[in-house]
Amino acid sequence: MKRREFLMASMGATIASTIKLEGQTPPPAEKTDVVEVGEMLDPDHLICVKPHVQLISETEVGLVWMTSKEAEGWVEWSQDDGETWKRAWNERDGLLVDACDRIHKITVSGYSPAKPFRYRVRSRAFTSFGPYRVVRSAEEAVYEGEINAVVPADGTISFAMFNDVHNKLEIYPALCKRLEGALSFTVFNGDIMNHIDDEPGVCKCLMAPLAYVARQTRAPMWYLRGNHETRGKFARHLRDYVALQNGHYYGAVTLGNARFVFVDTGEDKADDHKEYSGLVDFEHYIAHQTQWLAEEVSSPAWKDAKFRVVFMHIPPDGVCGSGRIWSQRLPRVRKLHAVLENAGVTLLLGAHLHNWACDDARPERPYPMVIGGGNNLTTTRQWSLPTLTHCTIQGNTLTVKLLSPDGKVLAQKEVAGKS
């Protein structure tokens, strides 16, 4: 079976071809099921997986999309409402690396986070690609979109967190209905997938949701791995489908008067656990990251920030609203916590427990922590509901709300910034 046919068969009934490839992105449809997310997959056209926009740094975003056949890809972008357009492409060692590929990942540098960002991703297929003569086909596709000003004029930073979806695509439309107002960015805080076996699974359960949320929110995102996304043979190729800061899943960015730090906590068991078959080395990985984190919390960017917000999939500890205590404290995760313990963290946002929590600071953890909820829309257990974690930084206050799929405010907390 050809790869194109394989993609089409795997995407199945969740795929719709109603999105135009030319012109402005259409407004979100009023739907409530998985089809809405599946519309981001369109194997009948050259752009078969719609683009998403990832936050890389204060002045960089990455756009990622896929084509149904090998094609060239580039991005045109504007920050003056389309009066002028710039072009971005990937060059490495003098070669344009998106010249003949299916996975297209373009970094746009030099944009201003204070202005809206319009983009057009373009791809064109080839009739032949020889060493001395390339023939382009007439098949060309264009997809347009826009993201909000990440740091608006009034300085308000608003962001939302999704976590622990575990392939249940119907969660995204349910939670996106609870979004209010413009967002600066979104965070996918791990376990978006159950495990990673092949490319069609990545397309359906990761790239399509990223594209869907990007269209719904008009905001860039940060993707942070969970422990489940380190599992499966294809997990080694996950980095090909997401834009990473300095090639790492972890990183940090300053937006307005806030410093946001994203920590990749890896697996939730020791490396010698039988499930991993001797094929992981998270001890080394987390040790290296712990050193990076120590340098981060010693940096001027961290120390000068009024708000210091940390995202981790696996929290260092926590008491859920249900009373459940997270007690599986891996030594390597505790080492990450030890770095943060006296660093003046404003708020830690975690996931992993499938029970939401809104926990105050404690002597052993001198910063508040909020945990996003579970992954079952039909549960009758309130604590296990999926949650939209919505945060707003305005003035000297960070306000965080945990919203249920039906719009109920499950918990709310206000935290003051550094004086």
State what percent of residues in the chain have pLDDT above 70: 89
At residue 362, the pLDDT reads 85
* Whether residue 388 sits in one domain with residue 330: yes
Residue 141 lies in a domain: yes
* Whether residue 126 sits in one domain with residue 26: yes
Q: Per the structure block, which two tokens stand in for 368?
A: 């508040």
95-96/185-189 β-pairing: unpaired
Give backbone dihedrals phi and psi of 78, rounded to 5 degrees, phi first. -145, 145
Average pLDDT over residues 157-164: 98
Question: In the listed set 147, 171, 206, which residue is the last one of a domain according to the structure?
Answer: 147
- CATH of residue 254's domain is 3.60.21.10
Residue 273 lies in a domain: yes
* Whether residue 410 sits in one domain with residue 356: yes
Q: Tell me if 358 sits within 8 A of 321, measured CB to CB.
A: yes
- CATH of residue 92's domain is 2.60.40.10
State what percent of residues in the chain have pLDDT above 90: 77
Tell me how far apart the alpha carbons of residues 265 and 349 are, in angstroms, rounded to a whole number.
13
Tell me how far apart the alpha carbons of residues 205 and 223 are, in angstroms, rounded to a whole number.
13
The boundaries of the domain holding residue 238 are: 157-416
* Whether residue 283 sits in one domain with residue 387: yes
Residue 70 lies in a domain: yes
Q: What is the pLDDT of residues 195-248, one digit of tens each?
A: 999 999 999 999 999 999 999 999 999 999 999 999 999 999 999 999 999 999
Q: What is the pLDDT of residues 135-154, one digit of tens each?
A: 999 999 999 999 999 999 99
At residue 26, the pLDDT reads 35
Question: In the listed set 109, 124, 147, which residue is the last one of a domain according to the structure?
Answer: 147
* Whether residue 410 sits in one domain with residue 276: yes
* Whether residue 137 sits in one domain with residue 198: no
| pLDDT tier for residue 17 given thresholds of 50, 70 and 90 | very low
Q: Tell me if 10 sits within 8 A of 37, measured CB to CB.
A: no
Give backbone dihedrals phi and psi of 276, rounded to 5 degrees, phi first. -95, -5
* Whether residue 184 sits in one domain with residue 53: no
* Whether residue 205 sits in one domain with residue 81: no
Q: Which amino acid is at 105?
A: K
Q: What is the pTM of this model?
A: 0.90
DSSP-assigned states of every residue in 254-305: EETTEEEEEE----SS-TT-GGGTT---HHHHHHHHHHHHHHHTTSHHHHT-
Residue 68 lies in a domain: yes
Q: What is the CA radius of gyration of the chain?
A: 21
Average pLDDT over residues 26-30: 39
End-to-end C-alpha distance for the chain, whole angstroms: 62
C-alpha separations of 99 from 95, 96, 134, 239 in Å: 8, 6, 10, 19
Residue 336 lies in a domain: yes
Q: Which of 173-182, 320-329, 333-342, 363-372 has the lowest mean pLDDT?
A: 320-329
Question: Which residues, 6 or more positions from 125, have their beta carbon under 8 angstroms from its beta carbon?
Answer: 46, 67, 69, 70, 71, 136, 137, 139, 140
Looking at the structure of the chain, the number of domains it has is: 2
Residue 152 lies in a domain: no
* Whether residue 316 sits in one domain with residue 337: yes
Question: In the listed set 128, 147, 166, which residue is the last one of a domain according to the structure?
Answer: 147
* Whether residue 62 sits in one domain with residue 199: no
Question: Which residues, 6 or more positions from 23, have their beta carbon under 8 angstroms from its beta carbon?
Answer: 144
* Whether residue 174 sits in one domain with residue 323: yes
| Residues 181, 184, 189, 192, CA torsion sign | positive
At residue 2, the pLDDT reads 41
Q: What is the pLDDT of residues 185-202, one digit of tens each?
A: 999 999 999 999 999 999
Q: Which residues pair with 353 in a beta bridge?
A: none
Q: How open is the CA angle 192-160-382, to the nearest 5 degrees?
A: 70
Residue 185 lies in a domain: yes
Residue 398 lies in a domain: yes
Average pLDDT over residues 323-340: 77
C-alpha separations of 276 from 231, 270, 289 in Å: 8, 9, 21
- The total number of residues written for the chain in this structure: 419
* Whether residue 350 sits in one domain with residue 396: yes
Q: Which residues pair with 254 in a beta bridge?
A: 259
Q: How open is the CA angle 370-57-341, to the nearest 5 degrees?
A: 40
Q: What is the pLDDT of residues 356-370, one digit of tens each?
A: 999 899 888 899 999
| pLDDT tier for residue 382 given thresholds of 50, 70 and 90 | confident
What element of type H or E holds 208? Answer: helix 208-217
Question: Which residues, 6 or more positions from 208, have their beta carbon under 8 angstroms from its beta carbon?
Answer: 14, 37, 38, 40, 41, 49, 50, 169
Q: Which residues pair with 388 in a beta bridge?
A: 403
